[in-house]
Structure 1
Amino acid sequence: MSLKPQILSKLTFIPSIMSNPHADEREKCQKKRKSTICESSSLRTSRRRYCNNKNEEEMNKEVSTTLKLYDDPWKIKKTLTDSDLGILSRLLLATDLVKKQILPMLGVDHARAAEIEEGTPISVWDIDTKSMHQLILKQWSSSKSYVLIGKWNQDFVRRRDLKKGDEIGFHWDPYNCVFNFCVLKRVMSEN
């Protein structure tokens, strides 16, 4: 019977070790922490100043001082000219904007079609009037410029009463797979 209490005491000792397997590591960390706390205050202060100055210098190098309140969604902007409003019913677009902002959104097949004579159809949602329109994007072979043709004059110029100097904008709407259109600025009429 004298063996049972000894076995019992050994069994109760084993779980206490097992429940805390990292006791040695914890003790080492606590000793290390105490030793760093015990450093002299002057050494700590000078080290802190050095670190703070170094961090400020690094932060100042990476901080931008320009304030940007929002990202302008109208990636394609155009101030209308006489030729954009004329009887040719076409809107001339800057080649670099088309290559950056329109062709990648159309996909490979439609981008290729835009570069040939037929062009490719694109859907345009007029945000102001909440109406959908179809235009054709094509590249002129003579000047390599891109134009929107089709019912540009009827659906946009006349219907929206666009004038020379008005600023319009387009941007791709990835959720609806259309280009959004908006009149951004109107010229003041001379009366």
Structure 2
Amino acid sequence: MPPYTFKKILSASDVGNQSRLLLQRSDAENHILSHLSEENNRAIQAGQGVRIRVCDRNSNTEHELVLKRMVNTTGSYVLNGGWIREFVNRRGWEEGQEIGLFWNIDNNRLDIYMLPPPPDQNNPN
């Protein structure tokens, strides 16, 4: 099982035309922002996007995405700036799939895994 500190089930908006991955406020603050510099945190809290390195651990490819806080609406955090192109379209990710995320301290980046689907409860095989 790959390491992760939080999980997310991809929603229609995560894989659709909004071109971003929506992150729960507590997950972003506890597991991502806590690893960023004070300067980057100030910029994010002001609604500015900050570029971070993100690794697709299933394909072992690294990308640069933008982490931003939606200060004028929900206050939630989003990853955009290539999310749809580099993860959804390139990898064929779909609504309902589950990803695991964690901040890789050794490489100073966010690692994302597509998690295997849970075993079918109705099929014991």
| Aligned equivalent of 1:129 | 59
Partner SS state of residue 85, structure 2: helix
**1:112 equivalent among 26, 31, 42:** 42
The 5-angstrom pairing of residues 64-83 of structure 1 reads: 73-83=3-13
Partner SS state of residue 159, structure 1: helix
Query: Could you tell me the TM-score, scaled by structure 2's length?
Result: 0.87
RMSD: 1.9
- Higher share in strand: 2
**2:98 equivalent among 164, 167, 170:** 167
Deviations 1:110-158 (A, max 9, x none): 1111122321111001111111101111110211011111110000001
| Aligned equivalent of 1:177 | 108
Task: With a CA cutoff of 8 Å and minimum separation of 6, indicate the structure with the bigger relative contact order.
Answer: 2
- Higher share in helix: 1
Indicate conservation of the 8 Å contact 1:165/1:186, yes or no: no
- Sequence identity, in percent? 36
5+ unaligned residues in a row in structure 2: which ranges? Answer: 119-125
TM-aligned CA deviation for residue 186 of structure 1? 4.3
5+ unaligned residues in a row in structure 1: which ranges? Answer: 1-69
Query: Could you tell me the TM-score, scaled by structure 1's length?
Result: 0.58
Give runs of ≥4 in structure 1 deviating > 3 Å: none
Indicate conservation of the 8 Å contact 1:123/1:178, yes or no: yes
